[in-house]
Structure 1
């Protein structure tokens, strides 16, 4: 009898603890469900790093900007990015400015830059090579009524899209260096579509172009 009573007491004592354990299991299970829920709530906004990365995807060159390669007598030669409508003067400033050896007489600082072009700032030797030889050759051929340095008639038009360096050097103030820059521009950009595109060639400004505008064609 006593044993039966003790067994009954033990059974009654054990019963309240089983639900408690079940509640703990439920709580543990619930906690496991809450954590993913909190994580899922964080996903739409994302972390600060994720938002920064998403923002960086759209970062790029400013619309309307121009990349220009500045070489020669400037403090920091290289490619510079300029806003739309910038001038050659702005390109030189972006490249650190001209050096003490720079000769800017043949550089049109007021010309609007073109995306992808190269601007060359010459020194004294390069400037003289660009201007003097062509001027001398043209003056001689133009005043003699004979033939120019390349054997062409002085009155014949020079085709900017087919002329070689020798033909280009017959033009006023066009020496070997400038003739080569005209050819390089043609190679990089394709055929000239107008005579005015010569203004995009480094070393040719309005005054230089007016000196031989009636001598060239496209």
Structure 2
């Protein structure tokens, strides 16, 4: 054997051992850590669930059909009242639910100067469909009234007042208690009274627009100048 042969074999053997050691070290088992959570996923998990997707109930109450929400998100309501008598703008008014008599008077333009407010509770809560009458004088006691007219108007059997009604002092509401007289005809009678400085006789009813012979015959025994 040549003198260099053992040296070459030794170098080859050392190289083979080094390659085997590197291969063994590279394939050894290593511990694997779980991946860190993404920041966007953590933020999404902190948000409240979407009720439209999860089926959860909507935390904000919604108004029913036909109702309008107010500023606080609640459904608002209205009432309708009739304000008549000695106010500046009598008529039917729409007010928010929970309004009082004072609110109805303000909606009608306020009470006329010099009106006696005794007995009118302006702090009373209003109900839908009621009538607020201001400043009308009390009438005679009612006996067997059919209902529906102002206090002091007696309508037995719905035929009209028991005593003749004064055409020169009656209000529109009192005139409407007469048979066949509605709001329009009552206003015509008031207009005629204002334009002619009052009724001098019952026969002048024939000159009021809307009163013919048949209606005059029904009204004649029930009224006076």
Category of TM-score, reference length = shorter chain: 0.3 to 0.5
Q: Which has the larger radius of gyration?
A: 2
* Greater helix fraction, Structure 1 or Structure 2: 1
> Which structure's relative contact order is higher, taking Cα pairs within 8 Å and 6+ residues apart?
1
